[in-house]
Amino acid sequence: MNIKIRKFKDSDILGVVSLIKETFYKYNKKEATKTGIKNYLTYYSINKDNLEKVKISFLKTPIFFVALDNKKIVGMIRGTKSYMVNLFVNGNYHNQGIGRELVNKFENEAKKQVSSEIKIRASLFAVPFYQKIGYKKTTGIKNYKGIKVYPMKKLIF
Ligand SMILES: CC(C)(COP(=O)(O)OP(=O)(O)OC[C@H]1O[C@@H](n2cnc3c(N)ncnc32)[C@H](O)[C@@H]1OP(=O)(O)O)[C@@H](O)C(=O)NCCC(=O)NCCS
């Protein structure tokens, strides 16, 4: 399979939002309360006004990459130089190294922007993945907006 990773463009918005919603619902809903799920999915509602709001929130995360299989968006990662906020890979593409490659790109960009540490609020599902690529838990499980997360971090030099 020929997966290409490149920087996010505005025209990716629909593909990205669909990927977030579908992947969250499939893999992360067990980790959230009903209200947590509802609020998360509502935040990414696909209607014109809401997509404008989402676009504005994306501007707060200057590091943003997408993974494409031909023209289909199958992965994404975004965040600031010290905080990663979203990493999602379409379930049909799991365990093919796309998640690791997206994190590599993210870390390299963070290093360029002179960061020495990356923090995340890891989904419970993704904890073994993050541990494999060098992230360590910093506390126990926390509740973030009705979703269980493990705060983790990695030093990058
Ligand atoms: C977590 C996620 C991004 C991983 O993406 P991926 O492309 O499948 O990961 P990779 O193929 O790059 O995996 C890298 C390594 O981690 C391992 N790994 C990946 N997911 C794993 C899991 N859930 N449990 C245990 N190991 C896992 C892989 O086997 C691989 O190990 P290897 O190097 O020994 O072969 C993906 O499962 C996902 O989108 N999950 C749902 C959304 C989510 O929870 N996102 C995180 C939000 S904080």
Q: Write the pLDDT tens digit of every residue in 55-84.
A: 999 999 999 999 999 999 999 999 999 999
Do the beta carbons of residue 150 and residue 121 sit within 8 Å?
yes
Number of domains in the chain: 1
Q: Report the residue among 16, 94, 135 best suited for mutation to probe ligand 1: largest number of ligand atoms under 8 A from its CB.
A: 94
Dig out the tokens for 34 from the structure.
Answer: 């009903």
pLDDT above 90 for 157: no
pTM greater than 0.95 (yes/no): yes
Q: Give the CATH number for residue 21.
A: 3.40.630.30
If you take atom 10 of ligand 1, which residue's CA is the nearest one?
A: 97
DSSP string, the chain: --EEEEE--GGGHHHHHHHHHHHHHHHTGGGB-HHHHHHHHHHT--SHHHHHHHHHHHTT--EEEEEEETTEEEEEEEE-SSEEEEEEE-GGGTTSSHHHHHHHHHHHHHHHTT-SEEEEEEETTTHHHHHHTT-EE-SS-EEETTEEEEEEEEE--
pLDDT above 80 for 23: yes
Dig out the tokens for 96 from the structure.
Answer: 């093919």
Q: Which atom of ligand 1 is nearest to the CA of 88?
A: 39
Domain that holds residue 136: 3-90+98-155
Q: What percent of the chain has pLDDT over 90?
A: 98
| Phi, psi (deg, nearest 5) at residue 43 | -55, -35
